[in-house]
Structure 1
Amino acid sequence: MNRLVAALVGLTLGAVIVVPSAHAATIATGARSLESVNFPGRFVTAAGRIDPVTSGSTAAAKRDATFTVLPGLASPSCYSFQVGGMFLRHYDFRLRLDVNAGTPAFRQDATFCAVDGSVAGSISLAAYNYPDHRIRHRDYQLWLDPYQDTAGFRADSSFRVTAPWAPKTNKGPVLPGLYADPHIVNFGGRYYLYPTTDGFASWSGTQFKAFSSTDLVNWTDHGVILDLGPGVSWADNSAWAPSIAERNGKYYFYFSGGMASGDTAKQLGVAVADSPTGPFRDALGRPLVRGGQFSGQAIDSMVFTDDDGQSYLYWGQGSVHAVRLNSDMISFDPAQVRSSKPSGYNEAPFVLKRNGTYYLMWSENDTRSEDYQVAYATGNSPFGPWTKRGVVLQKRTGQGILGTGHHSVVREPGTDTWYVAYHRFAVPGGNGINRETTIDRLHFNSDGTIRPITPTL
């Protein structure tokens, strides 16, 4: 029976399903397990069942019973449940684990709203797109069934949120959920991450978020800091690859955007705020770099500020463009733009300076390829000329780490300790639109070259 038919059966038969008023419930995000109320000791698992899990269960069984609870893919006031790169979703009213297809239908199928369960402290999960249906178990299998106002149904559809059976022991991903193109900075001794929100077909997301941390492990989600649709008049789609810079107490947020219809060329914008967590407002009311103004796609902007306080803007897919920014941080002289294409360059330029040497880093190959990787060159000025030194970050197939790229680098203040943030295919089951953000150490050799980075889980 297809969904539309099932949804209409009640009306065809003259029956009306009445869901009694229920109080919205909340679930703490992060790693959690869900225990059946009426079958204690059985937990929701990645197999779409409630299965017994004990301290003596295998590590695999414990992992299967541990979900990362995230703000809902279709609505941040609801929830989605992730295991690795896959999400719990309903399909033909059966619960299963699937790779995020990035479509509106998938996001709705994988979003559930929490209400109070049958006993104190428990929760029940209603489908975002079928609010009169709830997740319940039948013969230990999980189904999405129309609500029934009976004690049995309420018990079958209620779960206790417990500590995770498989606590997080690995370093990555550092952000729960699907995020790519991370830009990492340190403002005032606190680290901030600005990623692309991932998991959308054709990377069509519209919102930017900010996260912050004091230790690079525990991250605070500051929510949406810029939404292209209502916040930017010239873009409503393709919120990609942000970066940020500070000057005189103002924070300048550089981003890529496009229109969902009409001219689909990507353009670069700049927004401004009084805080690194926004809210940001479009500083110009128009693009900073128009699509087609320079060769290649106008994406992947970043700002490097030299020791003398001069800031430089870099961007571009296909070629890397560089220019001095004016002191207002929102304008430049187009006639002064310098363009180049280092061997292997595709996108995502990033510039840093150490001990008088300038480093231009970039991503090679396509982000949808498992061979997406980071290379670098050195030079004696912010404009080069650049001497390529080689690849420093690439896949580790033996560990299931693929598509390592679109990185950024930050130094721990007052030290020579450096970190690299980058994305990879979500582990497991990820692909070029299902990517996750992680962080590893970056080391320099005594001669100033960068030691190959070991991507870790």
Structure 2
Amino acid sequence: MSARSLLAASLLTTGFAVVLSGAPAQAAALATGARSLEAVNYPGRYVRHLDSLGRIDPITASSTAQAKLDASFTVVNGLAAPSCYSFQAKNGQFLRHRDYRLRLDTNTGDATFRSDATFCAVDGSVSGSVALVSYNYPDRRIRHRDHELWLDTYQDTAAFKADSSFRLVSPWAPKTARNPVLPGLFADPQIVNFNGRYYLYPTTDGYAGWGGTYYKAFSSTDLVNWTDHGVILDHGPDVSWADNSAWAPAVATRNGRYYLYFSGGPASGNTAKQLGVAVADSPTGPFKDALGRPLVTSGQFSGGQAIDPAVFTDTDGQSYLYWGQGVCRAVRLNADMTSFDTTQVRTITPAGYNEAPFVIKRNGVYYLMWSENDTRSEDYRVAYATGTSPLGPWTNRGVILQKRLDLGIKGTGHHSVVQAPGTDTWYIAYHRFAVPAGDGTNRETAVDRLEFNTDGTIRPVTPTL
């Protein structure tokens, strides 16, 4: 195998790079979130975009607000690999290479763009600095040349190492808003509290056709600062019957074990989706496919698509599984949490329902919530009904979460709800088009308060930046 092939294999499988001289360069872990990148050998010059082209320029406290924005990025989950990183500008676009020139472009979600916009971090030329290795050209690194940013072939020289090393420092334009709570593109979030700690389980977004393959877990004690626990289930190596469309996970617990319900399908297209269940001893996994086959197969029940699972556990300990796009279904889960009586499956589709069912209970009242319209529409929204049992009957109550155009917030839906332990304080997690420049496959996760009126109805949620 050639040196280039060895290097590529090392990067793609482990996140480590091996420089062409044969000397190993250690992989570097980057903290996600808002950052600016300062050139090691030109202190005071920072990576920025100008007319969409990447370069390094002086930025100071007296620089214009726009210049500070142009020199600020969010370090996010790698669009092509979770062990690497992508860099999202304040305008929502991503730093990528095209013809070896670094520039900003809008994420199209195809494999080429995602690879062009993904960089693996290795130790830089001085302590605390990093070099950024191209995911799809692992013998090339981001390097400044005449103050322009290029993707150049690695040279084992002091000059090249300095030109390709950067310090990640506090951003010139820091994040000031609460949302999104997770840096990067994540959708369909399930929020839950286990043992006093909050967990988020989202769909990894940013893929054309929603073609993601893995799930990550995040946790927090305050709903503001979130810890990334990495990949907890990957359809490729972990699921024999699905290799694509890793959508809308939901996690429930019973008897000290954790159960991850998920959607999956073949890479050949957005058809034949099925539901699976995986199990772990920890809320952060790793999860193992519990059955080695789907829990709900495509076409097993007439009508609708088998996606968007959710689990509600009543105060008597009985758990219920809900799912479906186009048709909403519900059934009591057996005590093993991995099976149910197929003859007991009920159809409970409310008027206006499209997908993403979710159930909670408060003061003896059951609330069935769902998403209306299409996730690609800015009018994607959440509505709800109330009932006297986990299976209904249900009384429609109307829409509680929808777009807020005065803030550029669109496509608010596919939500979940969590109660702060020991209180009557509730929160709603949901996705929206990424602000700005988002769409139905470039979505981000937000968390806001969910409040009730004195009669038990839900107040309309005010989506916030």
Contact 2:348 2:392 in 1 (8 A): no
Say which of 62, 66, 70 aligns to 2:68: 62
Whole-angstrom distance in 1 between the partners of 2:435 and 2:445: 11
What amino acid does structure 2 have at the position aligned with 1:204?
G
Determine helix, strand or coil for the equivalent of 1:335: helix
Q: Which amino acid aligns with 1:191?
A: Y
Query: CA offsets, 1:115-152, max 9 Å, x none?
Result: 34344433322222222322222343222223345554
Letter in 1 for 2:213: T
1:19 Cα deviation after fit = 5.3
Match of 1:39 in 2: 42
1:223 corresponds to: 230
Q: CA deviation at 1:79?
A: 2.2
Q: 2:300 & 2:145 partners in 1: Cα distance?
A: 60
**1:242 counterpart residue number:** 249
Matches within 5 A, 1:228-377: 228-261=235-268, 264-294=271-301, 295-377=303-385
Instruction: Call closer, same or farther: CA 1:60–1:155 in 2, change over 3 Å.
Output: same
- Aligned-partner residue type, residue 35 of structure 1: E
Partner of 1:73: 79
Asked if 2 retains the 8 angstrom alpha-carbon contact of 1:393 and 1:454, the reply is: yes
The one-letter amino acid of 2:181's match is V
| Contact 1:364–1:374, Cα closer than 8 Å, also in 2 | yes
**How much does 1:401 deviate?**
0.8
Q: Percent identity?
A: 75
TM-score of the pair, normalised by structure 1: 0.92
Correspondences of 1:127-146 after superposition (within 5 Å) = 127-146=134-153
Three-state SS of the structure 2 residue aligned to 1:244 is strand
* The one of 21, 27, 31 aligned to 2:23: 21
What is the distance in 2 between the residues matched to 1:357 and 1:116? 55
Deviation at 1:423, TM superposition (A): 0.4
Q: What displacement does 1:284 show?
A: 1.5
1:339-394 C-alpha deviation (Å, 9 max, x unpaired): 13212110000011111111110001100111111111111111111111111111
Q: Which moved more, 1:180-189 or 1:85-94?
A: 85-94
Look up the match of 2:6: none
| Residues 77 and 308 of structure 1, relative CA distance in 2, 3 Å threshold | closer
Tell me how far apart the structure 2 counterparts of residues 25 and 236 of structure 1 sit (CA, whole Å). 28
Counterpart among 427, 437, 449 of residue 419 in structure 1 = 427
Please, which moves more after superposition, 25-34 or 285-294? Answer: 25-34
Equivalent pair of 2:33/2:74 in contact (CA under 8 Å):
yes
Report the Cα offset of residue 20 of structure 1.
6.7
- Other-structure match for 2:164: 157
Return 257-266 or 388-397, whichever deviates more.
257-266
Q: Decide whether aligned partners of structure 1 residues 315 and 53 sit closer, same or farther in structure 2, where only a CA change above 3 A counts.
A: same
Alignment coverage as a number of residue pairs: 441
Separation (CA, whole Å) in 1 of partners of 2:295 and 2:84: 35
Aligned to 1:5: none
Question: 1-side partners of 2:126 and 2:308: how far apart?
Answer: 50
- Correspondence list, 1:78-117, <5 A: 78-84=84-90, 85-117=92-124
Deviations 1:428-449 (A, max 9, x none): 1111111111100011011111
Counterpart Cα distance in 1 of 2:280 and 2:147: 51
Moved more, 136-145 or 339-348: 136-145
Q: Give SS of 2:25's match.
A: coil
Tell me by how many angstroms 1:25 deviates.
Answer: 4.8
Shift of 1:272: 1.2
**In the alignment, residue 50 of structure 1 is paired with which amino acid?**
I
Q: Which moved more, 1:237-246 or 1:81-90?
A: 81-90
Rounded to whole Å, the distance in 2 between the matches of 1:181 and 1:243 is: 9
- The CA distance in 2 between the partners of 1:248 and 1:131, in whole Å, is 46
Distance 1:52 1:342, change over 3 A: same
Q: Which residue of 2 aligns with 1:199?
A: 206
- Offset of 1:200 from its aligned partner? 1.2
Letter in 1 for 2:26: A
- Give the Cα separation in 1 of the matches to 2:129 and 2:364: 59
Match of 2:445 in 1: 437
Compute the displacement of 1:302 (Å): 0.5
**1:363-402 map, 5 Å:** 363-402=371-410
Structure 2: stretches of 5+ with no match in the other structure: 1-18
Q: How much does 1:156 deviate?
A: 3.0
What residue identity is the alignment partner of 1:57? S
CA 1:262–1:393: 2 relative to 1, 3 Å = closer
Closer, same or farther in 2 for the Cα pair 1:383/1:33, shift >3 Å? Answer: same
In the alignment, the residues of structure 2 paired with residue 232 and residue 96 of structure 1 have an alpha-carbon distance, to the nearest angstrom, of: 37
CA RMSD of aligned residues (A): 1.9
User: SS where residue 293 of structure 2 aligns?
Assistant: coil
C-alpha distance 262-397 of structure 1, shift in aligned 2 (>3 A): closer
User: In 1, Cα distance between the equivalents of 2:307 and 2:441?
Assistant: 17
- Off by >4 Å, runs of 4+ in structure 1: 17-20, 148-152
Q: Which amino acid aligns with 1:378?
A: T
Other-structure match for 2:180 = 173
Structure 1 residue runs without a partner (length 5+): 1-16
User: Any idea what SS the aligned residue of 1:57 has?
Assistant: coil
Deviates more, 1:297-306 or 1:75-84: 75-84
| From 215, 218, 240, the counterpart of 1:208 | 215
TM-score (norm 2): 0.90
CA distance in 1, matches of 2:306, 2:168: 45
